[in-house]
Structure 1
Amino acid sequence: MSDAARTIADLLQRSNALGSDPANTNYAGGNTSAKGTDRDPVTGEDVELLWVKGSGGDLGTLQEKGLAVLRLDRVRALREVYPGLEREDEMVAAFDHCLFGKGGAAPSIDTAMHALVDAAHVDHLHPDAGIALATAADGERLTREVFGDAVVWVPWRRPGFQLGLDIAAIKEENPQAIGCILGGHGITAWGETSQQAQENSLRIIREAQAYLDAHGAAEPFGAHDAARAALPEAERRAKASALFPVIRGLASTDAPMVGHWTDSADVHEFLASEKLAALAELGTSCPDHFLRTKVKPLVLDLPADASIEDSVARLKELHEAYRADYTAYYERHAEADSPAIRGADPAIVLVPGVGMFSFGKDKQTARVAGEFYVNAIHVMRGAESVSTYAPIDEAEKFRIEYWALEEAKLQRMPAEKPLARRVAFVTGGGSGIGKATAERLVAEGAHVVIADLNLENAQKVAEELGGPDRAAAIRADVSDEQAVIDAVHEAVLFFGGLDLIVNNAGLSLSKPLLETTAKDWDLQHDVMARGSFLVSRETARVMLDQDMGGDIIYISSKNSVFAGPNNIAYSATKADQAHQVRLLAAELGGHQIRVNGINPDGVVRGSGIFAGGWGASRAKVYGVEEENLGEFYAQRTLLKREVLPENVANAVFALTAGDLSHTTGLHIPVDAGVAAAFLR
């Protein structure tokens, strides 16, 4: 292994070890670097290089492709052309002219810190214990008390080239130091070997935490308020599922958001504390925190046992006030060249007794925002336990939140997919049409709840689609009213609400009239007619609470209009579903909820219905071998094509992706052309 390859391997090993422990740094927070040499392919000579985590990466999962690689001589030469603090943002573009080779990640704003500090290995992290000292009102004194002269205090300065110069000077002036506490921000440590840098980082974190544990007050958040304590679990979950769609709708006033609910002991301790209102108003401090959580949360100022009605009314009042307050914050600090306001809705909503609701453009972003606010709670607890929590002021927060460099990073993000920010609920999603539909919806950016009587199938599909940040599995018997209610409540707790409903669950028994029993009739009507009604009713409640509109799709059948032989119960229930489409389109249109249907011909391949005996029955009716049933269906169509699950999924996408925004009450045939089933 070459020296450069060994340097990279050691850096990645250190980065992954530090980043995998949330006590060391938050998701995608901090950066690490290593200096070394590699052969210049042009000159054939060795050149000094810096390998540093690039913009947007995560230490815990960092790979070589996530490193920016720069020539050290060129980065260091930037000191001679640095135009000063007022123009330091120009230096980020200059980093691109220092890159070595091709590929790799874009250099981050912290590149200067890593390049200019005279140490072979540098770590910059955001540990809760370190930020607690960094945000304490007397953080400089505490740093000396905890570390002596081994760790140096650095007053708050926005990340950038000047901060890199400052830390480089501190390292030179304090040869005994192993690192520093960055006021309001985090820690930086260094070492001459990768192992030494890692040990120094962990030493700072460990000693900071030990000091807080040994000297911290027993109740840093003040007295416990029993009226705001966590509700019993069942009651807590029920209230969360009732409030979540309302809160999601409020948080989506400017742009649709996906939600995450956090129900941890840390959150409930904070919500029931005497200092909740005061500390929440101060907001977060570390730039990584408030860029994800906004400068402060919305806090419901009601006791835990407040009614749903009172809570909803108060949340709406507080949301209006929050938007006015955020707009005023923007207007206080915005300058002529500031980016436009990005939205005035909260990213974090705290509800005593229930928990924390966090929001983002997708589930991962929402979840991480919640994790960051939990980090902030830990920081506030630590700072308050030994001092007073004193985050950076709001003017500095604004400078970072509406930083031109941050705006440029957002503008570089790829365009969102057509169904981004939408949450789908697909019944019968564990196989056949439902599975294909779930796959298409996720591919187009949606989050999907897969509801199926067979939970194992649903879980397998959810895992294939990306797991809990993209798809969730629920067992649901759609013929059981309480089971449907419970399934919808659980779905809401996964992603915050629902936008796109696919009534797909079904089964069929192929029998002539005289052999069809009342049990046969009831079973098919219970699953499809009753089941679709129950799912539509319960999911419509959620969509009405959100006030964001939505889509309900019925997977009906060409049999809803075509009179085939030996199929009385199935075809009659499909006709029931088809008319539900028309009825609900008429009733829900005023709420911007569109209701449409899809009429497939028999879908044989991958179908749970056909595999469960329906295929054999229909093959017997038509006098063909079961394995030839798909081809038989194809040959009776005008296009001579077999209908596949993905063909139906395509129709679901067409109806919901936006191009048919003015269409409701429609039935789309997906039958390759069955003239007898033409709609009239």
Structure 2
Amino acid sequence: MAEQVEALLRRSNRLGSDPRNTNYAGGNTSAKATATDPVTGADTDLLYVKGSGGDLGTLTEAGLAVLRLDRLRALTGVYPGVEREDEMVAAFDYCLHGRGGAAPSIDTAMHGLVEAPHVDHLHPDAGIAFATAADGPELTRGCFGDRVLWVPWRRPGFQLGLDIAAVARDNPQAIGLVLGGHGITAWGATSDECEANSLEIITTAQRYLDEHGREDPFGAVVVDTLSPADRTLLAARIAPAIRGLVSTDHAQVGHFTDSAGVLDFLARERLHELAAKGTSCPDHFLRTKVRPLVLDVPPTTPLDQLLGRLKELHDAYRADYRAYYERYADADSPPMRGADPAIVLVPGVGMFSFGADKQTARVAGEFYVNAINVMKGAESVSTYEPIEEREKFRIEYWALEEAKLRRRPRPKPLATRVAFVTGGGSGIGRATALRLHAEGACVVVADRDADAAKQVAAELGETGLAVTVDVTDENAISAAFRAAVLAFGGVDLVVNNAGLSVSKPLLETTEQDWDRQHDVMAKGSFLVSREAARIMVEQGIGGDLVYIASKNSVFAGPNNVAYGAAKADQAHQVRLLAAELGEYGIRVNGVNPDGVVRGSGIFAGGWGAQRAAVYGVPEEELGAFYAQRTLLKREVLPDHVAAAVFALCAGDLSLTTGSHVPVDAGVAAAFLR
């Protein structure tokens, strides 16, 4: 048994890691094996099948559902018919073997009812091109003969499993099927044979499309694509506005794609016609909505007109989506989940995709690329004809799909928010970046030290981005925010943390000392906040600016004139910007830490030695010295400051702006008045 399960996992990972075979989280695989029932001691036939919501490319044993085959097949005797087939999904739970494992998916019946020991169900672009072609049955017969057969569209479920099992049983020469409007299914006596049959169907279908397909199935080029540099500039300029529009019902994170295939589709004369037909495979439109929003003016249109047209098209899209919902919804339908598009196509520029997190946004874009490939394949040999709209609605607002959505974990407090942290490569900045990420945010780690920024961003995975920036350089700041916008769609939360210090008496403080500290902290915070505010105002969904100031902004310590004055400048920027930006829903607050010694790049760079000398203590005891002069006798650490940033931005303090939060363990001389 273990050997067969391991073979199933290896096969699944190989098939799922190649996008030509299936899309992310698309399809499922299975193997039948015999094991000893620990209760009776008798041999029991089991079905191991990828569970609901898993991904073949990363499938592990924990992602398999394990069912008793005899009980699963016995469900045919109590099957109430296609009008009540959804009830069968709950019945799968009574067929489970042992504890744990994944929840059985809707396709479990297909895998269990087909007699073959191994079954693959996949969503390859080439296969779906056949499945969505107007003359799909004839194309399938012409390409495969009787080796691969056609099964008409039927919503996934128990009846489809019965249909596939019957076709497989009645056609022993067949190795698999094309499922109308859906994908392919293959089977085999061994795991290797099943995988080989799946790959044969996919490669044969692709070869047929390559050899028989006509050129330019999308028509002539009618829109000039901008140069890479111009595309990047325009995409970054319009992304916040688009993100604001598509966040009308629910906040979303963005992803930008300007791959060659996408740009070619967007440049062609049949773009609007084909995009209006929508995607077909259920896995596609569940993630992309039934159709995208397509901009209908050239990219050279003046920016204000282009943005105005996007707004008009978004209003029309929402009205059309509501009409679509109302056409097909009945008393049992779940409430409408939101009328905003998941895909926005801008000819000459690229594709913007959106979702509740970065992965969902990226995957939505990948699925639309799959849809483009499918349309191209189908149109090259036939006519693209997706399943009818009513069937799409039945899938999108299926009670089983709604139940799957409700099983998702509750979103983290900062889910959908994009944070930009300056000085994020070390100390307070690093701790803040890690905390915001842990609470669900996408985080842009900005630092002069490129390696430090990359190291922190690497810890954040797909939701982290490293940018190298000197906050005294407004061009570098603009470039860093463009990178943030292209990565995540916009910016919602900015932490002005970059800083440095030199501790000298007044008479030893040089003009260069003064300018350097004010350039980084006072001027740098101003430049970063100005660029961030531009984006936040364009988005129209509010935001947060947080300044990491200092207790020294209100406390007059010795030998500290340049640093203290720069921090006081930052502290008053908080008040000034809170007063100015409130009308846009942008909150501006500050955090006033005491000296954060451990983990601090500033203290490690000489500031610690200088301050220790001022107070007459060994440098290694500076943190303890600071702690002893506080009311709580506690040393302030980077994580304490990060916690304050989170508290300001997580939602519970949504009506707080223009304020400073002390994080100093209680320094009476720095009490705010």
Query: For the superposition of Structure 1 and Structure 2, which TM-score range results when normalised by the shorter chain?
Result: over 0.9
The answer to whether the 8 A contact 1:229-1:268 is kept is: no
In structure 2, which of residues 280, 295, 298 is the aligned counterpart of residue 300 of structure 1?
A: 295
Aligned to 1:125: 122
How far apart, in 2, do the equivalents of 1:48 and 1:481 lie? 68
Alignment of 1:624-635 (within 5 A): 624-635=617-628
Do structure 1's residue 37 and structure 2's residue 30 form an aligned pair?
Answer: no
Counterpart of 1:548, as a letter, is I
Aligned to 1:441: 436
How far apart, in 2, do the equivalents of 1:378 and 1:110 lie? 25
The answer to whether the 8 A contact 1:333-1:395 is kept is: yes
Aligned to 1:654: 647
In structure 1, which of residues 459, 471, 479 is the aligned counterpart of residue 472 of structure 2?
A: 479
SS of 1:526 mapped into structure 2: helix
In structure 2, which of residues 70, 75, 89 is the aligned counterpart of residue 73 of structure 1?
A: 70
Do structure 1's residue 266 and structure 2's residue 261 form an aligned pair?
Answer: yes
Alignment of 1:328-343 (within 5 A): 328-343=323-338
SS of 2:656 mapped into structure 1: coil
The answer to whether the 8 A contact 1:229-1:271 is kept is: no
The answer to whether the 8 A contact 1:36-1:49 is kept is: yes
Alignment of 1:8-407 (within 5 A): 8-225=5-222, 228-407=223-402
How far apart, in 2, do the equivalents of 1:13 and 1:369 lie? 26
| Normalised TM-score (structure 1) | 0.99
Do structure 1's residue 411 and structure 2's residue 386 form an aligned pair?
Answer: no
SS of 1:171 mapped into structure 2: helix
SS of 2:121 mapped into structure 1: strand
Alignment of 1:532-551 (within 5 A): 532-551=525-544
Deviation digits for residues 624-645 of structure 1 (CA, Å, limit 9, x no counterpart):
1000000000011111110000
Q: CA deviation at 1:383?
A: 0.2
Identity %: 74
Aligned to 2:594: 601
How far apart, in 2, do the equivalents of 1:115 and 1:632 lie? 70
How far apart, in 2, do the equivalents of 1:489 and 1:123 lie? 43
The answer to whether the 8 A contact 1:300-1:350 is kept is: yes
Deviation digits for residues 59-106 of structure 1 (CA, Å, limit 9, x no counterpart):
001000000000000000000000000000000000000000101000
Aligned to 1:470: 463
The answer to whether the 8 A contact 1:39-1:45 is kept is: yes
Aligned to 2:513: 520
How far apart, in 2, do the equivalents of 1:511 and 1:482 lie? 31
How far apart, in 2, do the equivalents of 1:377 and 1:505 lie? 44
Aligned residue pair count: 673
In structure 2, which of residues 608, 613, 630 is the aligned counterpart of residue 620 of structure 1?
A: 613
RMSD between aligned residues: 0.5
How far apart, in 1, do the equivalents of 2:303 and 2:64 lie? 49
Deviation digits for residues 228-267 of structure 1 (CA, Å, limit 9, x no counterpart):
2321111100000000000000110000000000010000
Q: CA deviation at 1:214?
A: 0.2
Q: CA deviation at 1:311?
A: 1.2
Q: CA deviation at 1:392?
A: 0.2
The answer to whether the 8 A contact 1:428-1:451 is kept is: yes
The answer to whether the 8 A contact 1:152-1:181 is kept is: yes
Aligned to 1:579: 572
Question: Structure 1 unaligned runs (5+)?
Answer: none
Q: CA deviation at 1:310?
A: 1.5
How far apart, in 2, do the equivalents of 1:7 and 1:229 lie? 53
How far apart, in 1, do the equivalents of 2:188 and 2:391 lie? 31
How far apart, in 2, do the equivalents of 1:229 and 1:248 lie? 24
How far apart, in 1, do the equivalents of 2:468 and 2:487 lie? 14
The answer to whether the 8 A contact 1:420-1:445 is kept is: yes
How far apart, in 1, do the equivalents of 2:295 and 2:660 lie? 44
How far apart, in 2, do the equivalents of 1:230 and 1:173 lie? 52
In structure 2, which of residues 396, 419, 425 is the aligned counterpart of residue 430 of structure 1?
A: 425
How far apart, in 2, do the equivalents of 1:564 and 1:308 lie? 51
Q: CA deviation at 1:481?
A: 1.1
How far apart, in 2, do the equivalents of 1:264 and 1:305 lie? 20
The answer to whether the 8 A contact 1:229-1:269 is kept is: no
